[in-house]
Amino acid sequence: MSNIIIHPSYFPSISHFVAIAQADIVTFEMEDNFQKQTNRNRMYIYSPNGIQLLNVPVKHNRERHQRIKEVKIENDFDWQKQHFKSLEAAYRTSPFFEYFEDAITPIFQKKHTFLMDLNMETMAVVSQCLKLEFDYDETDEYFHHITDKHDFRNLINGKKDLSRFDAYTQVFGDKHGYLNNLSVLDLLFNEGRYALDYLKKQKL
């Protein structure tokens, strides 16, 4: 797939990591404006009741657009505790939750100031768990049109991400059926060391 450009996001969707796993060089978009209702600050998991949204609260600037790297997290209430409890309820019985728990837990114990720092750390930790190594750089200017890279920035808008991937075994699959393209954590906790092979075989 050669070079790609993509947004950092909060425990990204499987489609994000399919693109990254198949790229030679990854460029992270750091200069765009924050947009609500996107995966910049949210992930979807497979809860006992079906699909569940976990949203990182952010401080909004009502006077002007905020660049994504300027967006601060709202830490006045313990959203991290809520998110981790939700992950436990969803994946405690999955084959690999306990195997990766020690790697994931510190993220929910640290108070990040900026959303971008949180997103970059979640992506780094997941990459380590996957044993996925890749070269990356970061944008220093925003360009609407990109000609020298495969542009996957649209994947940040989950509602417009129509990627379909091969089914794998999910904890509550017998109850709710297969749920496609959730957070990469769903794949990691269910497939463990097979997750990277899965990512490399999928098509975007």
Per-position pLDDT tens, the chain of length 204: 689 999 999 999 999 999 999 999 999 999 999 998 999 999 999 999 999 999 999 998 776 788 999 999 999 989 999 999 999 999 999 999 999 999 999 999 999 999 999 999 999 999 999 999 998 999 999 999 999 999 999 999 988 899 999 999 999 999 999 999 999 999 999 999 999 999 999 998
Q: What's the alpha-carbon Rg for the chain, to the nearest Å?
A: 16
CA distances from 150 to 19, 68, 89 (A): 9, 21, 37
Estimate to the nearest angstrom the gap between the alpha carbon of 162 and the chain centroid.
Answer: 16
Q: How many CB atoms lie within 10 A of CB 27?
A: 20
Phi, psi of 16 (to 5 degrees): -60, -50
